[in-house]
């Protein structure tokens, strides 16, 4: 990879977080993130070098303040909740996990370690899948219950893809996780993807995130500086849609998803350090009887 991507930034944030967070899940996630960054060529090596040195960390903190204050802590905030909600969904019977745009994240491994009999499937862009496969190999992780599938979610016909994946069983109770990915799809692509999932996996659970409108109604975080939008565009990862809290349910309903809950960014005990991205859970519609 020849430039820094959002998945690399998340991986660097995961490595950085593990320096101050003693949660074993955070440490495991950081080990995978580190191995992935090592496979990301010069941009990955530079990010790792910065995270591993005091001066580099000062520079990263300054860049965060300059671009988007609190974003590293926001990632940790949303990942804590996603781990908790996903564990709960598995406790409620999910036997299959489908992670869309998984990047270099270790949620699948976290759940596979804790839920006997669970199978996990990740759908990601080919270049990212190749790096993650190599990283898992390098870490000595041989997990036969994890499958990485290369596909572009903006064009793939998900109804055709899923039944053809070895060991994927559309009849199994399934949890779909789409963390930090749906905002990169054009609205018609989003609708096609979610409706395709609803047709293939009726009744499956969904944990996902979506952007809220920031200044001037454009998708983004509340404290995002104007140059973040330009950086995302140059990186080829612009946010393509946003929704207000009140309108999110209608957008999802049009795509055959029933919204059940939205994480409260103002939760007194643990507020979102960088608001502007909704974390929500829902269920794919069941066909009418
Ligand atoms: C911001 S990263 C989030 C990674 C991970 N879900 C996390 O939160 O740690 C966005 C990820 O979505 C993936 N992605 C974006 N558009 C995609 C598409 N059209 N098809 C497949 N993956 C996509 C990117 O490759 C990237 O890994």
Angle between helix 54-67 and helix 226-234 axes, rounded to 10 deg: 110
Sign of the CA dihedral running 37, 9, 175, 21: positive
pLDDT at residue 77 is higher than 70: yes
3-class SS at 285? coil
Average pLDDT, the chain: 96
Average pLDDT, integer, range 134-155: 98
pLDDT at residue 41 is higher than 60: yes
pLDDT given at position 265: 97
Which atom number of ligand 1 is nearest to the Cα of residue 154?
19
What's the pLDDT tens digit per position in 111-138? 999 999 999 999 999 999 999 999 999 9
Domain 71-284 annotated CATH 3.90.79.10: no
pLDDT at residue 289 is higher than 60: no
Percent residues over pLDDT 90 in the chain: 96
The residue whose CA is least distant from atom 10 of ligand 1 is: 181
What's the pLDDT tens digit per position in 54-75? 999 999 999 999 999 999 999 9
**CA dist., res. 85 & res. 244, Å (int):** 22
Q: In a 10 Å sphere around its CB, with 0-12 CB exposed, 13-18 middle and 19+ buried, how is residue 106 labelled? A: buried
The residue whose CA is least distant from atom 23 of ligand 1 is: 101
pLDDT at residue 228 is higher than 60: yes
Distance of CA 268 from the midpoint of ligand 1 (Å): 30
- In the chain, domain spans: 71-284
Distance of CA 181 from the midpoint of ligand 1 (Å): 5
Find residue 211's DSSP bridge partners: 277
Residues 6+ positions from 193 with CB-CB distance below 8 Å:
100, 153, 156, 158, 185
Residue 166 · residue 149 · CB < 8 Å: no
**CA dist., res. 101 & res. 123, Å (int):** 6
Mutation to probe ligand 1, out of 76, 111, 125, 219 (largest number of atoms < 8 A from CB): 125
Average pLDDT, integer, range 88-103: 98
Distance of CA 7 from the midpoint of ligand 1 (Å): 7
Tokens of 74: 């926001």
Distance of CA 99 from the midpoint of ligand 1 (Å): 10
pLDDT at residue 288 is higher than 90: no
Residues lining ligand 1, CB < 6 A?
6-7, 10, 101-103, 105, 124-125, 128, 152-154, 179-181, 184
Higher pLDDT, 173 or 214: 173
Which contacts qualify for 258-262: CB closer than 8 Å, 24 or more apart?
A: 258/282, 258/283, 258/284, 258/285
**CA dist., res. 190 & res. 233, Å (int):** 19
Q: Using pLDDT thresholds of 50, 70 and 90, give the confidence band for residue 217.
A: confident
pLDDT at residue 215 is higher than 80: no
Which atom number of ligand 1 is nearest to the Cα of residue 123?
21
pLDDT given at position 205: 98
The residue whose CA is least distant from atom 24 of ligand 1 is: 101
Mutation to probe ligand 1, out of 103, 220, 238, 240 (largest number of atoms < 8 A from CB): 103
**CA dist., res. 112 & res. 79, Å (int):** 16
The residue whose CA is least distant from atom 9 of ligand 1 is: 105
The residue whose CA is least distant from atom 14 of ligand 1 is: 101
Average pLDDT, integer, range 18-45: 96
Closest CA to 63 of 225, 285, 252: 225
Distance of CA 52 from the midpoint of ligand 1 (Å): 25
């Amino acid at each position: 990879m020849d430039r820094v991507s959002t998945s690399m930034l998340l991986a660097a944030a995961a490595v950085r977080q593990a320096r101050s967070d003693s949660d074993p899940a955070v440490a495991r996630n950081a080990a995978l993130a580190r191995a992935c960054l090592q496979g990301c060529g010069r941009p990955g090596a530079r990010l790792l070098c910065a995270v591993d040195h005091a001066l580099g960390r000062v520079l990263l903190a300054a860049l965060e303040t300059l671009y988007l204050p609190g974003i590293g802590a926001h990632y940790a905030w949303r990942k804590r909740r996603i781990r908790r909600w996903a564990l709960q969904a598995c406790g409620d019977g999910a036997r299959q996990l489908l992670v869309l745009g998984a990047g270099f994240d270790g949620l699948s491994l976290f759940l596979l370690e804790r839920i006997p009999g669970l199978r996990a499937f990740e759908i990601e862009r080919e270049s990212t899948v190749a790096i993650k496969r190599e990283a898992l190999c390098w870490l000595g992780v041989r997990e036969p219950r994890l499958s990485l599938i290369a596909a572009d979610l903006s064009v793939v016909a998900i109804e055709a893809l899923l039944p053809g994946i070895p060991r994927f069983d559309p009849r199994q109770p399934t949890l779909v996780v789409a963390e930090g990915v749906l905002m990169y799809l054009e609205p018609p692509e989003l609708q096609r993807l979610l409706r395709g999932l609803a047709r293939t996996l009726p009744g499956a659970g969904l944990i996902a995130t979506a952007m809220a409108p920031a200044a001037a109604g454009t998708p983004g975080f509340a404290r995002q500086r104007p140059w973040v939008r330009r950086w995302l565009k140059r990186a080829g990862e612009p946010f393509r849609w946003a929704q207000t809290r009140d309108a999110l349910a209608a957008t999802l309903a049009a795509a055959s998803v029933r919204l059940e809950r939205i994480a409260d960014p103002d939760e007194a005990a643990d507020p979102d350090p960088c608001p502007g991205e909704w974390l929500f859970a829902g269920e794919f519609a069941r066909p009418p009887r």
